[in-house]
Chains A and B, each alone.
Chain A
Amino acid sequence: MNEDEKRAAFETEALVHMDAVYRFALRLAGDPDQANDLVQDTFMRAWNSWDQYEEGTRAKSWLFTICRNVFLRMVERSKRHQTTVETKAPREAMPSGGNIVNPIWTSTSQKDPEGDFFDSIVDEEVLRAIDDLPEEYRTAVMMSDIEGLPYAEIAEATEVPVGTVKSRLFRGRRQLQKVLYEYAVEMGYLDPRPTTANERGEG
Chain B
Amino acid sequence: MLKTIRRLFGGGDGLRPGMSCEESLRLLYEYLDGELDDLTAGEVKAHFDVCKACYPQLHLEERFRERLREAVASDDCPDAVRENVLAAIEEAFERQ
CB of A115 within 8 A of CB of B35, answer no
CB of A114 within 8 A of CB of B56, answer yes
CB of A151 within 8 A of CB of B35, answer yes
Interface: A60 (CB within 8 A)? no
**Whole-angstrom distance between the Cβ of A129 and the nearest chain B Cβ:** 9
Contacts of A173 in B (CB 8 A): 29, 61, 64
Contacts of B34 in A (CB 8 A): 148, 150
Q: Once A and B bind, how many residue pairs between them come within 8 Å at the CB atom? A: 123
CB of A150 within 8 A of CB of B75, answer no
Interface: A67 (CB within 8 A)? no
Q: Specify the main secondary structure of chain A where it touches its partner.
A: helix
CB of A141 within 8 A of CB of B22, answer no
User: Which of B2-10, B11-19, B37-45, B87-95 makes up part of the contact surface?
Assistant: B87-95
Which residues 157-203 of A have a CB within 8 angstroms of B? 166, 169-170, 173, 176-177, 180
Contacts of A43 in B (CB 8 A): 85, 88-89
The closest CB in chain A to the CB of B93 belongs to: A7
Q: Known A23-B72, A43-B89, A115-B64; judge A169-B29 contact (CB<8 A).
A: yes
User: Which of A68-76, A79-87, A102-110 makes up part of the contact surface?
Assistant: A102-110
Mask: chain B, 29-59; 1 = CB below 8 Å from A; 0 = not:
1100111000000000000000000001101
- Residue with the greatest number of chain B CB neighbours at <10 A, chosen from A100, A116, A141, A170: A100
For A127, give its contact among B59, B71, B88 (CB under 8 Å). B71
- Residue with the greatest number of chain A CB neighbours at <10 A, chosen from B35, B68, B84: B68
CB of A100 within 8 A of CB of B25, answer yes
Contacts of B76 in A (CB 8 A): 19, 22-23
20 contacts between A and B (CB under 8 A): A3-B93, A18-B77, A19-B76, A22-B75, A23-B75, A27-B72, A36-B78, A44-B89, A44-B92, A47-B89, A100-B26, A113-B60, A114-B63, A115-B63, A118-B67, A144-B33, A166-B29, A170-B29, A176-B68, A177-B64
Residues of B within 8 A of A (CB): 22, 25-26, 29-30, 33-35, 56-57, 59-61, 63-72, 74-78, 80-82, 84-86, 88-89, 92-93, 96
Residues of A within 8 A of B (CB): 3, 7, 10, 15, 18-19, 21-23, 26-27, 32, 35-36, 39-40, 43-44, 47-48, 97, 100-102, 104-105, 108-109, 113-116, 118-119, 121, 123, 126-127, 130, 141-142, 144-146, 148, 150-151, 166, 169-170, 173, 176-177, 180
Given A22-B78, A109-B56, A170-B29, 9 other A-B contacts at CB below 8 A? A22-B77, A32-B78, A36-B81, A39-B77, A100-B22, A101-B25, A102-B57, A115-B60, A145-B65
